[in-house]
Amino acid sequence: MSLPQIARVALDVPLRRFFDYRVADGESLSPTDIGYRVRVPFGAQQKIGILVELTTVSELSPEQLRPLAAVLRDLPPLPGDWFRLTEFCAAYYHAPPGQVMLSTLPARLRAISAAKVRQARQPVVDAAAQPAPELTSGQHAALAAIGDLEGGFRAYLLHGVTGSGKTEVYLRLIERALASGRQSLLLVPEINLTPQLEGRVAARFPTAGMVSLHSELGDAARSRNWRAALTGEARIVLGTRLAIFTPLPELGLIVVDEEHDASFKQQDGIRYSARDLAVFRARQGAIPIVLGSATPSLESWANATAKAGGGRYRLLELSERAVEGARLPAIRRVDTRVDKLQDGLSSALLQAIEKRLACGEQSLLFLNRRGYAPVLACAACGWTSHCHRCAANLVLHLSDHCLRCHHCGFQARVPKACPSCGNQDLSPFGRGTQRLEAVLAERFPRARIVRVDRDSASGRKQWEELVERIQRGDADVLVGTQMLAKGHDFPKLTLVGAVAPDAALFAADWRAPERLFAQLMQVAGRAGRADRPGEMLIQTQFPEHPLYAALARHDFPAFAAAQLAERRQAGFPPYAHQAMLRAEAPRMADALNFLSSARCCSSAGVDHGVSFYDPVPMRLSRRASLERGQLLVESPSRRALQRFLADWLPQLEAIKSPSRLRWHLEVDPLEF
């Protein structure tokens, strides 16, 4: 008597195991069916899952096993390298494997009621490819160092100053991959960077079948593009962080642009780093990966410059701008202790704007704080516009006549009088992009002021319209957040002003200086062309600070060396490896009690060489009416930390806690 065939299925449920189902009598599945989506009963419902294994052994008796409802063969099965990637992600970030696997699929492919994915071929475009520009000596050297892509796994860190032509290097490598019959995956940190890059890739390779994958695509388009990648019809995939999980049967190259960007780290749900998973995927697939940035993450820089073992990454440098005659912008520090601010602006910056207006050139003022003012306050009684759901202030948005919390989304009308004492003279304190826009409009009434932030460009269409307007020259002064800092080409822009950068110099978060340097270097790179020299003015009370001194010299290596020396001395990453246990509950006492219990049940950490900090409230201690605490776990050994976390997790799940308490574990946290 033959044993019954059992299908092991991954489901999108918060349990760290797979589920067994009986294959119906008279039916038989083969190993080639592994990777197909399946429909199965789960409780009183039906769910879509993924067939991960066929076996004849189960912890349940045959009578207890429910039958598999259907195998969905409308798409090819998911390939083995996709399984290895998702299994590694689940293991490293200690997430339920079924949730990881199913969350990477387009929504339509996870829905019971969804129609089958249409099998539409990529359109063949009858267009001539845009000619490639002449390469600089630096680009030639970088491409020669990488070679023909056939040498197996190798990680390259392409460090190129802004405007040095990193994208052209990517395009030449994609060309090599296409010539060898391989697919390419190009990751970018944010959706706003995709339109410009899409245009360049499509113009260079009009018949290659390029698709995009990002969160602003509709369900149908995302499913079609994902399917085109899976079947090999799409030879180039351009996407944001979730695209790292795209199944690509003939993948030959991975590129991660702006690899330093924090947007590659998922901050909720399954908290993975797409950049780090990209390196793992390249290693497993024995293919090259190129990480590009003008300001690499310090972890990547350490991997490329470490003397021990010759460095895990090979460092490639592009030290000159690609356009002949183009120079890096001059960076000047304005000492605001001497040049007193008028409505947040120094006389030096105002004069520089006037000069650009007279020449018909554009200026950009960088202020990474949206809204009109960070807080509305009453001078009579001290009332402030505090969010009742968060440990944060409600930001004044004067154009919408509302107070808005940037953490939980709560919104209220601007009061006509103080809610506490009735005083009608309420005052905004501090500055956001809206207030800066108003100040500039009053100061320069003839200038066309354009504000670019999440309020003015909340969707891709609005963003593209704003960029087109700026590129046409229908704007004189731009006011923007970090949305304007990356990868955009504005030919008439010659002046950048950093309005209020000092707060990040002394922030509690030890990563703040790295982020500030990257932001300022990136936004400075928007200024200047060969025929229009660029300039950046930094308004600061600390003009001699080493960060600004390195920035003025465009000396990222010196800044990185100083930061890495500080981190080595302090025992911070990349010289230590961390995990953060966070808990949130209606009462802070409950959150901290859970974290204390977690610390007490972690005595095995001593044996693993793992150390603990004390449970403390998070910096934003209250969000959306929940009190939040955290417990930091640290080890000099990544392997030791991973072994400990695997042992610790079942103990955490066994802790009895209030029903409304929620907790999660994050490996390699970026936010503190």
Q: What is the pLDDT of residues 495-550, one digit of tens each?
A: 999 999 998 898 888 999 999 999 999 999 888 876 788 999 999 999 999 999 99
Give the per-residue pLDDT at 310: 57
Q: How far apart are CA 400 and CA 479, in angstroms?
A: 18
Q: How far apart are CA 1 and CA 14, in angstroms?
A: 37
121 pLDDT above the threshold of 70: no
Residue type at 134?
Answer: E
Range 170-185 average pLDDT: 97
Q: Is 84 exposed, middle or buried, given 0-12, 13-18 or 19+ CB atoms closer than 10 A?
A: middle
Q: What are the distances in angstroms from CA 576 to CA 560, 573, 611, 615, 637?
A: 17, 5, 11, 19, 7
Identify which of 161, 186, 163, 162 has the alpha carbon closest to the alpha carbon of residue 173: 186
Identify which of 632, 665, 625, 671 has the alpha carbon closest to the alpha carbon of residue 646: 665
Give 482 or 621, the one with higher predicted confidence: 621
Residues composing the chain: 672
Give the per-residue pLDDT at 654: 92
Q: Is cis: bond before 288, omega within 30 of 0?
A: no
Give 328 or 483, the one with higher predicted confidence: 328
Give the per-residue pLDDT at 308: 57
Q: Is 464 exposed, middle or buried, given 0-12, 13-18 or 19+ CB atoms closer than 10 A?
A: middle
243 pLDDT above the threshold of 60: yes
Give the per-residue pLDDT at 661: 97
Q: What is the pLDDT of residues 305-342, one digit of tens each?
A: 987 545 799 999 998 887 776 788 999 999 999 999 99
Range 202-209 average pLDDT: 92
To the nearest whole percent, how much of the chain has pLDDT over 90? 77
272 pLDDT above the threshold of 50: yes
pLDDT band at 606 (very low <50, low <70, confident <90, very high): low
User: Burial letters for 605-631: b for 16+ Cβ neighbours within 10 Å, e otherwise?
Assistant: beebebebeebeebeebbbeebbbbbb
Residue type at 166?
Answer: K
pLDDT band at 227 (very low <50, low <70, confident <90, very high): very high
Residue type at 611?
Answer: S
Range 116-125 average pLDDT: 53
672 pLDDT above the threshold of 50: yes
Q: How far apart are CA 384 and CA 537, in angstroms?
A: 33
Neighbouring residues of 606: CB distance < 8 A, sequence distance ≥ 6: none
Q: What is the pLDDT of residues 415-453, one digit of tens each?
A: 999 999 999 999 998 889 999 999 999 999 999 999 988
Give the per-residue pLDDT at 482: 83
Identify which of 519, 468, 459 has the alpha carbon closest to the alpha carbon of residue 191: 459
What is the average pLDDT score of the chain? 91
Range 45-68 average pLDDT: 93
Quote the strand ranges of 271-345, DSSP E. Answer: 288-293, 314-318, 330-335
* Number of Cα atoms under 13 Å in the Cβ half of residue 605: 22
Tokens of residue 349, six digits: 């910056």
DSSP class per residue in 509-522: STTHHHHHHHHHHH
Quote the strand ranges of 325-454, DSSP E. Answer: 330-335, 362-366, 375-378, 395-397, 402-404, 411-413, 426-429, 449-452
Give the per-residue pLDDT at 198: 87
Q: In 180-297, which residue ranges form alpha helices assigned H by DSSP?
A: 194-204, 219-231, 274-285
1 pLDDT above the threshold of 70: no
